[in-house]
Structure 1
């Protein structure tokens, strides 16, 4: 059996450890712990901080990162660029920054085909040929295109806001340049006749 003296010897270090550990998990006096209610709203401290925070960056606002420091510039394709490319394929897909705008990427492919889809993109002032594995079916849900010194990935980010045979869907176009530079564009991916 333990004596009172032995109990104190065991109790004092255990109490000290418990206090030390509990002190580590508490916010400092000058820090305010975030508070949230069950409905997801935040306390007044958090609300004031949110009002002064800078606005969220949209993918289209993200500049080129990495590489040699020069920007990745993808320009809208003009009628001359599209006509001059003489693309072949039953159906096409295009990426544009907004509905009704000229595309910055256009590709065509055949349905139920393993032949690569072919297309074009305008890098600065130069129109470049691109290709993707598989035909139209592989492009419809987003795909990876290859160009000279660049890889372009289309990823769908949500459902089509409208109906119809081939409604545009929200998407991102990520351009990865061979020197390690990357830029993300936000826009619409539309595939169909």
Structure 2
């Protein structure tokens, strides 16, 4: 199959990323040294994504179909990681979805749309996702994104955090 020249350049970065992601880390060579190495101090560095959490795809969103009139989403590195929907009347709990290795995971929280505008905690199926706003809106308009942090807690795993944006609106 011949790929047109106009498509080759845009495909090159994606191909490189794919090949890097598929490479397995090489084990370290055995050492006879018995000197103790200093342990690294924990820092703000986080992995690109936690084990088992993936970007939401249109098919994932359609399959999970969170209900509600209005929506909020958490995005980082140009990928949507959590989508939440809720009604203004707050009778029905807000619903959210994330995508794990096994597929879509539905989460929820008490209250409707108004309860999630300023972030909050969504729980379900062994996952707790907390959105914490970290600053004012970065743009003007009806639904400007706000800087936020997503913290994901799962049994048997350390909490995972990533900085991104929380956007709510119609």
Flag whether TM exceeds 0.5 (same fold): yes
Corresponding residue number in structure 2 for 1:93: 72
Instruction: Report deviation, 1:125.
Output: 4.6
Moved over 3 A (4+): none
Would you say how many aligned residue pairs link Structure 1 and Structure 2? 128
Change (3 A) 1:73 1:180: closer
Corresponding residue number in structure 1 for 2:58: 79
Q: Which runs of 5+ in 1 are unaligned?
A: 1-56, 65-70
Paired residues of 2:70 and 2:85 also in contact (CA < 8 A): yes
Q: Let me know the Cα RMSD of the aligned residues.
A: 2.1
Corresponding residue number in structure 2 for 1:122: 99
Rg larger in structure: 1
1:10-21 equivalences in 2 (<5 Å): none
Instruction: Report deviation, 1:181.
Output: 2.0
Instruction: Report deviation, 1:167.
Output: 0.6
Under a length normalisation based on structure 2, what TM-score does the superposition of the two structures give?
0.69
Corresponding residue number in structure 2 for 1:62: 46
- 1:90-132 CA distance string (max 9 Å, x none): 100100104xx33110010001313211121012352111111
Higher relative contact order, structure no. (Cα contacts within 8 Å, ≥ 6 residues apart): 1
Corresponding residue number in structure 1 for 2:117: 140
Q: Distance in 2 between matches of 1:186 and 1:147?
A: 22
Where is the strand percentage greater, Structure 1 or Structure 2?
2
Corresponding residue number in structure 1 for 2:155: 178
Q: Distance in 2 between matches of 1:137 and 1:174?
A: 21
Q: Which runs of 5+ in 2 are unaligned?
A: 1-42
Q: Distance in 1 between matches of 2:47 and 2:62?
A: 30
Q: Counterpart of 1:88 in 2: which secondary structure?
A: coil
Is the deviation greater in 152-161 or in 171-180?
171-180
Q: Distance in 2 between matches of 1:102 and 1:114?
A: 30
Q: Counterpart of 1:83 in 2: which secondary structure?
A: helix
Where is the helix percentage greater, Structure 1 or Structure 2?
1
Instruction: Report deviation, 1:87.
Output: 2.2
